[in-house]
Structures are given as C-alpha cells and as structure tokens.
Amino acid sequence: MDCKLNTIVIYTKTNLLIKQVWKETCREILGANYRGEITSGMDGTHDEESGHYHGRALDFKKDMPEDFWEPLRKRAQGKLNKLKKGKYLVLVERTHFHIQRQKNSF
C-alpha cells in the first residue's frame, strides 16, 4: 500500500500495525488486486488532539463503492479489538477512512 504524493508518514509501531491491519482487511473484502493508498499521516490539518501528530493515526483512500465502507470499517475494527495492544478506533470519514490508537491506551 503506497502513500499519496507528499504524504508524511512516520512508521511508529502503531502506524505499522494500522497499515498492516488495513491492508489485510482490504485484501479480504476487496480482493488481492486492491491497491489502496495512505492519504495522510503527519501532514494535513487535523484536530489538535488527533493521533496524526503523534504517530498513531493514518488516513486511507475511500475509493471503493459505498456498500463496502461499513464492512471494511467493521472488519478492521474487529481485528484491532482482538489485538489487545491498545484501544483503536476506525472511522468512515467524509473523504477517507481514519484509523487511530486512542491516547494513553496500551
């Protein structure tokens, strides 16, 4: 899974995990040919409290039909819930998917 041009991503353990889980989820639901893309890491404008500025949040392209949004969100959330390495949140935003590890959650 590549990054959008000019995206700044810091590969903390958390971000690597988020990327891995999203990649797996997309493969399972959309098939092995789905490429996907990271659309934001540290860059962009986010909430001050956002995990983006702390290496614990990534945004992903929302380029599949709407019917897939919720199944993707649910499956990724389910996988992250099973990890027990912190609390994660998967959101379907207007223009992208947002995944982050919650603050102070290990």
Q: Which is nearer to Zn ion, 31 or 47 (CB)?
A: 47
Strands 57-61 and 96-101: antiparallel
d(CA 33, CA 76): 18
Of all residues in this chain, which one has the CB nearest to Zn ion in the complex?
Answer: 98
We find the least distance from the C-beta atom of residue 73 to Zn ion, in angstroms, to be 13
Residues in contact with Zn ion by CB under 5 A are: 59, 98
Q: Which is nearer to Zn ion, 79 or 100 (CB)?
A: 100
Residue ranges with strand state E in the chain: 2-3, 37-40, 57-61, 88-92, 96-101
Q: Which is nearer to Zn ion, 33 or 48 (CB)?
A: 48
